[in-house]
Amino acid sequence: MSRNQEPIALNAIETIALYGFADTNEPIEFHRGVPSRGNSGVFRLSVVDPLCTEGEPPAPEESTLYAEHPGHEHLELKLGSLLECGRTGYVHAVSCEGPGALDVPELVAKISFPHLRPRLSREAWIYEDLRSLQGAVIPRCYGYFEAQIPEGMVFMQECHRARRVPNLSGDFEVIVPNIVGILLLERLSNERLPLNVRFGKDWCNEIHDLYKEISESFVDVRDIAHGNIIRVSRSPHALPSLPGRTTGRVFEWRVIDLEDCVKHTVPRDYHMINFHTQHVDTLLGCLQRGITNFC
């Protein structure tokens, strides 16, 4: 049966019991965390958008997908196959478990271990800031959750057991040992923009309009790349796409991997033309020539 309405508010879930993550008889309990922007600054120029107050971006637009007060729902999930391994964490399919499971769409869990968890927390902060674009330009986000993992715990997934801690460059001021983070997101397809294909005007305009929506929300995307634009799911269980707040367009694509985004105070049209538009044009030009490593 296809869906035609939102099953639960995006801030309804308070706790997650995750099966299949660790080699234990009991699931690992994750609790709602408080996303942090870390030491991410604000991108500024000498000119400031008139909607900014005292040089700061305006408050984000509200979303009807969020309840007025966070809920207290509990969700039982079973960790599934690894879909992708990115700079911030491991993206896994997850399935709902247990009797009386919550009515939620198909989901993925983005899991981040202690050395990268602050990046995931910052990404969660951006998702909340862009709440009015969820389901339209970016995936719906059902929350950010944390769990404390005991020393010596054995993980079920080989990729988790083999993880390595990279040398960090001082991006984040605090790394808390043994805290694992999860970002729970609406599942998309695995389809990226095609290569060696001449993009028509409508297709190009759609990708540009994705980033126009984000510019209008005073967010600067620092990683406009082939891997970060994914088509929506074609599953009959997927939730419908919502229209963009600025353009009114219903998009077939979503922008993902938001951890490097920053807020900006630049006049929105100027920002779009001089920052997002240039990068999108470069990206589309590369893809039409079959090039992905440059973009």
Structure-block tokens of residue 18: 């995750």
In a domain, 271, yes or no: yes
1 in a domain, yes or no? no
Tokens of residue 3, six digits: 């869906």
User: Domain total for the chain?
Assistant: 1
Give the relative orientation of helices 201-216 and 277-288 as an angle to the nearest 10 degrees: 150
Identify the pLDDT of residue 1. Answer: 39
295 in a structural domain? no
pLDDT tens digit sequence for 62-97: 999 999 999 999 999 999 999 998 888 999 999 998
**Alpha-helical runs (H) found in the chain:** 117-129, 158-161, 201-216, 268-271, 277-288
Q: What pLDDT score was predicted for residue 202?
A: 95
Percent of the chain with pLDDT over 70: 93
The reply to whether 3 falls in a domain is: no
Has residue 92 been placed in a domain?
yes
Q: Which amino acid, 156?
A: M
Strand partners, 148: 179
Express the helix, strand and coil content of the chain in percent, nearest 5 each.
20, 25, 55
190 is a domain residue: yes
| pLDDT attached to residue 174 | 66
- Does residue 56 lie within any of the structural domains? yes
pTM of this prediction? 0.93
Cβ atoms of residues 257 and 270 within 8 Å: no
Q: What is the mean pLDDT of the chain?
A: 91
Residue 130 has pLDDT above 70, yes or no: yes
Residue pLDDT, tens place only, 167-224: 454 455 567 889 999 999 999 999 999 999 999 999 999 999 999 999 999 999 999 9
Residues 6+ apart with CB under 8 A from 285: none
Paired tokens of 222: 């620092």
Residue 134: domain span: 13-288
* pLDDT average, residue stretch 213-241: 96
Contacts of 17 (CB under 8 A, 6+ apart): 27, 28, 29, 30, 74, 75, 76, 77, 97
Answer whether residue 124 is part of any domain.
Answer: yes
